[in-house]
Structure formats: C-alpha cells, structure tokens
Amino acid sequence: MPKLTDLASAIATHVHDGDLLYLAGFTHLIPFAAGHEIIRQGRRDLTLARATPDIIYDQMAAAGCARKIIFSYMGNPGVGSLHVLRRLVESGALEWEEYSHFGMITRLAAAAAGLPFLPLRPTGAESLAAVNPAYKTIPDPYGGPDVVALPALHPDVAILHVQRADVHGNAHLWGILGEQKEAAFAARRVILTAEEIVDEDVIRRDPNRTLIPGLIVTAVCHVPHAAHPSYAQGYYDRDNAFYLEWDALSQDEVRLHAWLEEWVYALPDRAAYWAKLGSAAHARLTPAPRPSGEVDYGGYA
Amino acid sequence: MTPAPAYSPAELMAVNAARLLQDGEVVFVGVGLPNLACNLALRTHAPNLTLIYEAGVIGARPERLPLSIGDPTLVTGATAVTSMYDIFALYLQRGLVDVGFLGGAQIGRYGDINATVIGDYAHPKTRLPGSGGSMEIAAFAKRCFIITPHQPRRFPERVDFQTSLGHGPARRALPGSGPQAVVTDLGLLRPDASGELVLAALHPGITVEQARAATGWPLQIAPDLTTTAAPTAEELALLRALDPDRIYLK
C-alpha cells in the first residue's frame, strides 16, 4: 500500500501533543527536517527520547515542544554541552530520565522484540540505578549471577531519515546504523523521510540493504537534505561548523530565538532551508564518490 | 636554563597514551585525544590494532580527523558497520574489547569516574552530558585508560556521581580490570594493589610536588616511580599530521 505523503501532512496526522517521540540516528541521518516541522506545527508536552539528544532536541526544547527528555548522552557531539537542555535541566524546568547508551538501546530492543524487558550484565556503577528506579537487579533464573533488567521503551512515534525508500516504506540505509532498526520496530507509528524515493525494483535488487521493512512504516516522505547539519553517508557531509556555531548561539536567548525564527518558523519546508544555506555550503558538504562493489544475488527462475 | 618545550601538554598525553597500546589489540575509541593516540599507535608500533567506535564501526581507517564519534570518515574503508545494540552487546558486553578509553569531569582516588553531574543529581550545579557508553566500557573492556589534564578539581578524593566504576569491591564480579592508567600532562597514575591510583611515572621535568599539588587526595608514590621518555620527533610529526588544524592538540 503506497504511504507516500508530504512531511507537513505526516506530522499533522501522526504526531500529537503529549506523544513520546524517538527521532532516531546516532550522529548520522538525524531527522532535522521532521523536528523543524514539529516546531512549526507547535506541538507541546512531548517526551523526547534519544540516546544522544543532539542539536535537534536542543532546538525542539528551545521552541517549547518538550515536557520531558529521555537520554544517555546529553552533549553536543565533539563540541561540549547542549546548552538549552542543560539550562532547562539545571533550572528544573524540564523532566528527565537517564540511562547509559547500552541501557537506552536495550530498552528499544526489548520493545522491538515485543518483550517486557531485557537483561544486561551489571556494571558495578551504582549511582544511576540509585536515581533511576527503572534499573532493577533480578536473579538469573538459571542460577548464574544476578542481571540488571530495563523495561521496554515504546515510542508513540519513531521518525527516521533514510537514504532511499520506495513508496511502501521499504528503506535502504548504509553507513552508521545507530538505533534506527530498534526504534522503528519499538514504535507504534513510524514516519520516514528519504533522500530519494526509488522504484520498488531498486529495493528488490538489494534486499540485504533493507533495514526498515515497509510493513512497519506508517508514512514515507520525500525530503532531500533532511538530515543537515547531521549528514547522509554518500550524499552530504556533517556540517561541523554549524555544530560549533550552535554552541555559541544556543547560549544567548536573543540569538537563539532569532535563529529559530529565521531558519525554522520563517521557512515553509526543507527545500527552502537547503536553498537558503546556499551553493557554497552545498559544495563544501558534498563528498567525493566512493561506490561499494556490487554483489551477485543470482537468478533462480 | 630551561629549554622551551618542544611539545604541548595535549601532544605529551596523546603520545604517552599511544605507547600504552599493544599491537593486535581491539580498542574502543573515543573522539579527541583517544582517537589521536590510537591512530598514532596504528602508524608506529601497533599496525594491527582494531579500532572500534561506539557508533557501530569496526576496523575504522579514518582518512581525516574525525570530529564526532559518528563522523562519516569512520565508515568509509572500515571492515564492518553494525548497530549500536550489536556494538554494545556482541562486542563490548561479550568481551571482545581489550582496551577502552574513558573520560570525565572527575576521577576519584580509586578510579571512579563522574561524567554526569557536579553537585546534587536532582538539583544539579553543573549538568554534564552523562554516561554515554562509559558505564559499560569501564565494566567490560579488559582494561581502561583515561587521558585528562592534571588539576585538583579533576582529581577529588570522591566523585559526586559514580558514572563508571573504578576499583571498588564490585570490581571483583566484573570481567574488566578497570582503569589501569591515567595519562595526565604531569605523568601517569596507576592503581596499586588496593586499587588506589598512585603516581607511577613523571614526564620529563615534572616533579613529585607538582603532581601532589594537582591531586585532591594525598597522592602516594609508586616504589618503582619512573620518568617517561620525551615524545620523539617521529611521534610528534605523525601526531601533528593527524590533527593539522590542532583542534585537539592545542
């Protein structure tokens, strides 16, 4: 069943005030365009879950979308603090719930597999378990040492950016795969944005590259460059200069809100955003080609 | 007469961390100085290191300096790319990682690390990024190294929050041996038999008094205290080629 729609309609239909969202992608393929559309549509009281909240959740929190954050590393990767989230947490204005990376991802893996929880080996570090009651120590029913249990995390909506998908939502991803598969299978609704919408035949020619099957996808949207200032392997580079710029401007309320006005509220969509970035930025971010070899699946008529 | 230093504190730390790695080891790498140390070792005495990055990259051969843990240069030319769940479950928890690098705002007397919060957790004075992968790296890597400038506020007797375990009693039940070296700009700390971090080596020209003054507990001196060899011209040239803009070597 074709699920192709535009991003504004997908967000309007499937993302509601109060939802628990997981915008997936570990540094790579972060769905910034979807985050900006959620800001434009004025969603409120969201619980924002991500292993690494990254700049996208800093922006969504600055725009007033968030009631709570669930995370395992709340930093600006390679730069320092996420200043908006840090201010909101330090002032008590935002609820938060915290895990290690492995704990966070394990919660998604449990939900993705339809399990109530999954066990992990204990790490001996006591402080996080002391402040987060979700950490439980349980006996190994087979007589080994105790294990730590963490509960399944079921997002209402997972949003993923992918390199290419067909109209059914079958999606090819390559490069760093983060927690995309677990987040998508864990969620009740899945929205994809894609660099390219391709013929079903492109997907069927390389089925091992399909990380996300269309059968769990709710809506698929054609949104090129949706991951900037994050990146899409083979399409455009990570814009580290913006990550550095954000460090400065996110510490200044006036500049912060001026930025949101100029780059989110005043723009209709991602195409306008990409055009506004300009051709010098496009050239700076374009990688050299480095195609993979091909494999032969064989014909078995 | 004191000769002008031929290397920066960051270069000194990266070179000494690189020397701790042994050829053939599997290393869980972080960005910044750990990445530089691992890539320096790869180009000198340890050409068969396997570099694993927590973003899910195995056998990375970065062609430029990675500026984040998920930099695309880590992927191109790697031997494998997998999910984060697989990296933490199949590689780290399963016990395939020999060496992990850790960092944090505070390192305590027994090697506990705080990367989470300064002050009270519920009402933080300074909120730090949090564990990321460090809670599991400290537990499951066979041994861990820490690279950090040597300052009293970074070396309190006790950490405000135990993000990752050092050498407390819980260590006995874990597969990893915990922090085995802290590389600072003054020297190297290593755990003694009780797990307490003690001064094991000084860099050239540094005194015991300087190290003691920069440590928040009464720093003990290892009986076999040594002096590290100064970075060689070759080490410095290779290192500087890895970070030509001196982003981490400043």
pLDDT digits (tens, 9 = 90+) for B131-159: 999 999 999 999 999 999 999 999 999 99
Residues in chain B: 250
A262: closest CA of chain B, how far (Å): 27
A82: closest CA of chain B, how far (Å): 8
> Which CATH number covers residue A241?
3.40.1080.10
Q: What is the predicted pLDDT for the residue at A102?
A: 97
Per residue in B37-51, pLDDT (tens digit) is: 999 999 999 999 999
With a CB cutoff of 8 Å and minimum separation 6, the contacts of B45 are B19, B23
Q: Tell me phi and psi for residue B209, to 5 degrees.
A: -60, -40
pLDDT at B9 over 70: yes
CB-side neighbour CA atoms (13 Å) of A23: 31
User: Is A81 an interface residue toward B (CB < 8 Å)?
Assistant: yes
Q: Which residue's entry shows tokens 């005194």?
A: B207
Domain residue limits, chain B: 9-242
- Chain A residue with CA closest to B123: the answer is A90
- Chain B residue numbers with beta carbons less than 8 Å from the beta carbon of A174 are 81
Per residue in B153-193, pLDDT (tens digit) is: 999 999 999 999 999 899 999 999 999 999 999 999 999 99
Q: What is the predicted pLDDT for the residue at A103?
A: 98
Residues in chain A: 301
Per residue in B71-93, pLDDT (tens digit) is: 999 999 999 999 999 999 999 99
- Chain A residue with CA closest to B93: the answer is A121
**Are residues B93 and A109, on separate chains, in Cβ contact within 8 Å?**
no
- Name the strand (E) or helix (H) holding A70: strand A66-71
User: Is B8 an interface residue toward A (CB < 8 Å)?
Assistant: no
A299's tokens: 């014909």
Cβ–Cβ under 8 Å, residues B93 and A121: yes
CA distance B203 to B128: 30
Strands A219-222 and A189-197: parallel
A56's tokens: 């996208």
Average pLDDT in the B229-237 region? 96
Average pLDDT in the B106-112 region? 97
Domain that holds residue A19: 7-116+152-284
**Are residues B89 and A102, on separate chains, in Cβ contact within 8 Å?**
yes
Edge-to-edge strand list for the sheet holding A117-120: A117-120, A147-151, A136-138
Task: Give chain A's domain count.
Answer: 1
- Name the strand (E) or helix (H) holding B213: helix B208-213
A118: three-class secondary structure by DSSP: strand
Cβ–Cβ under 8 Å, residues B192 and B222: yes
CA distance B40 to A211: 35
Contact residues, B window 128-147, toward A, CB-based 8 Å cutoff = 128-136, 138-140
A301: closest CA of chain B, how far (Å): 32
Per residue in B57-68, pLDDT (tens digit) is: 999 999 999 888
Q: Which residues of chain A have pLDDT under 50?
A: none
User: Is A294 an interface residue toward B (CB < 8 Å)?
Assistant: no
Strands B187-191 and B197-202: antiparallel
Q: What is the predicted pLDDT for the residue at A49?
A: 98
Q: What is the predicted pLDDT for the residue at A146?
A: 96
CA distance A83 to A60: 13
CA distance A32 to A273: 11
Q: What is the predicted pLDDT for the residue at A77?
A: 86
CA distance B182 to B103: 10
Q: Which residue's entry shows tokens 């407390």?
A: B168
Q: What is the predicted pLDDT for the residue at B1?
A: 47
How many CB atoms within 10 Å of residue A215? 9
pTM: 0.96
Higher pLDDT, A261 or B247: A261
Fold that domain B9-242 belongs to in CATH? Glutaconate Coenzyme A-transferase (3.40.1080)
Q: Tell me phi and psi for residue A268, to 5 degrees.
A: -75, -35
Mutate which: A73, A76, A140, A182, vs B, most B CBs within 10 A: A73
Q: What is the predicted pLDDT for the residue at B3?
A: 52
pLDDT at B211 over 60: yes
User: Is A240 an interface residue toward B (CB < 8 Å)?
Assistant: yes
Q: What is the predicted pLDDT for the residue at B5?
A: 56
Alpha carbon B9 to chain centroid, angstroms: 14
- Chain B residue with CA closest to A182: the answer is B85
Q: Which of B176, B180, B4 is nearest to A123 (CA)?
A: B176
Residue A175 counted as domain residue: yes
B107: three-class secondary structure by DSSP: strand
User: Is B195 an interface residue toward A (CB < 8 Å)?
Assistant: no
Please give the ipTM for the structure prediction.
Answer: 0.96
**Are residues B56 and A178, on separate chains, in Cβ contact within 8 Å?**
yes
SS3 letters across B176-210: CCCEEEEECCCEEEEECCCCCEEEEEECCCCCHHH
Q: Which residue's entry shows tokens 């922006």?
A: A59
- Chain A residue with CA closest to B120: the answer is A90
Report which residue type is found at B3: P
User: Is A163 an interface residue toward B (CB < 8 Å)?
Assistant: no
User: Is A137 an interface residue toward B (CB < 8 Å)?
Assistant: no
Residue A167 counted as domain residue: yes
Residue A135 counted as domain residue: no
B11's tokens: 């270069």
Cis amide prior to A133 (ω within 30 degrees): no
